[in-house]
Structure 1
Amino acid sequence: MDDQYLNVIMGIIMNAGNAKGLAHEALESAKQNDFEKANQLMAESNQSLAEAHNVQSEMLTKEAQGEHTEMNLYMVHAQDHLMTAITYQDLVKELITLYKKNAQ
């Protein structure tokens, strides 16, 4: 495995992990009825998720152009982090909405 491939994997894991962590912080802010901070943290979470998704999209583009990507446990792990972050972020958005309704 070359360094460039490892950097791609770590980029997905790092950005997906950041997105999930920021979404969790947003949820904690919403629990305290600090919806301005929750919105700010979710915006940051979205940015991190976009960065992880961009890395993945680059890989998909290369694959479509015939440049095969090596699939190994590290890549599976990175994809798992990305999908978990996406799912968690979707759930947190719904929970923040519920906290806002409850606060009114």
Structure 2
Amino acid sequence: MQEENLEAVMGLIIHGGNAKSNAMEAIQEAKNGDFTLADEKIKLAEESLVEAHHSQTGLLTKEAQGEHISLNLLTVHSQDHLMTSIAFTDLAKEIIDVYKKISA
């Protein structure tokens, strides 16, 4: 795998992981009643997802321009990591909303 493509794949994994971690922390903060911090953690998760999407867009652009991107386990893992992080962040927002309603 070319170094530039490896950097993009690792960007997906790193930023996706950061998003999931921040989303999990957001749930814990909401559970503890700190909704301000929960919202801040969700914002951080969303920012990490944007960074991950930038990495993904770079790979997709290269593929669309005719540059073959090798598919290996690391590439598949990075995409899986991103999709899981997106779903987890979306679910975290819903859980936080439930905690807010319970608290009110």
Structure 1 and Structure 2 fold alike (TM over 0.5): yes
Q: Could you give the per-residue CA deviations for residues 17-74 of structure 1, whole angstroms, max 9, x where no partner exists?
A: 0000000000000001100000001001100011001110121122112222111111
- Alpha-carbon distance in structure 2 between the residues aligned to 1:25 and 1:36: 12
**TM-score when normalising by structure 1:** 0.95
**TM-score when normalising by structure 2:** 0.95
- Alpha-carbon distance in structure 1 between the residues aligned to 2:14 and 2:55: 11
Q: Shift of the alpha carbon at 1:3?
A: 2.0
SS in 1 for 2:33: coil
2:8·2:58 contact (CA, 8 Å) conserved in 1? no
- For structure 1, the 5+ residue unaligned runs are none
Matched, 1:101 2:101: yes
2:14 maps to: 14
AA at the equivalent of 1:49: L
Matched length: 104
**Equivalent runs, 1:1-104 vs 2, <5 Å:** 1-104=1-104
SS in 2 for 1:69: coil
- Alpha-carbon distance in structure 1 between the residues aligned to 2:86 and 2:25: 15
SS in 1 for 2:54: helix
The percentage of counterpart residues that share the same residue type is 49
**Which runs of structure 1 show a deviation greater than 2 angstroms over 4 or more consecutive aligned residues?**
none
Alignment RMSD = 0.9
